[in-house]
Amino acid sequence: MAYDEVLARRIRQLLGDQPGTTERAMFGGLGFMVDGHLAVAAGSRGALMVRADETDGAHPLLAPMEMRGRTMSGWYETAAGAEIADDVLAELVEMALRRVATLPPKG
């Protein structure tokens, strides 16, 4: 399954004014990078992937992300095809931006 293009467009609109934002196709999804750090993605399984700390990751729409049977520390995702209201999507993207702002600069 390819990523949800409507979800990707909505993320793109939210990140429109964010300095240092780039997009990268990866693993069948579309990742949104901020200053070289992957922050949020429209995943290949139709889910929204969000980088967040444990406190933010407790959001009711998010579950710890698993890849190849392994839980990915600091990554969370929605259910595939989840209906995400505009205000909730904005909250989740902002959560990811807060998290990547704490990461060291990329070389």
Q: How far apart are CA 99 and CA 80, in angstroms?
A: 23
Q: How confident is the model at residue 1 (pLDDT cuts 50, 70, 90)?
A: low
Q: How far apart are CA 57 and CA 46, in angstroms?
A: 19
From the CB of residue 80, how many other CB atoms can be counted at a distance below 10 Å? 13
Q: With contact defined as beta carbons under 8 Å apart, do 98 and 23 qualify?
A: no
- pLDDT of 68-92, one tens digit each? 899 999 999 999 989 999 999 999 9
From the CB of residue 104, how many other CB atoms can be counted at a distance below 10 Å? 6
**In this structure, which amino acid lies at residue 62?**
L
- Which string of DSSP letters, residue by residue, matches 4-15? -HHHHHHHHHHT
3-class secondary-structure state, position 83: coil
Q: With contact defined as beta carbons under 8 Å apart, do 12 and 5 qualify?
A: no
Which of 48-52, 56-60, 87-91, 92-96 is the least confident region? 56-60
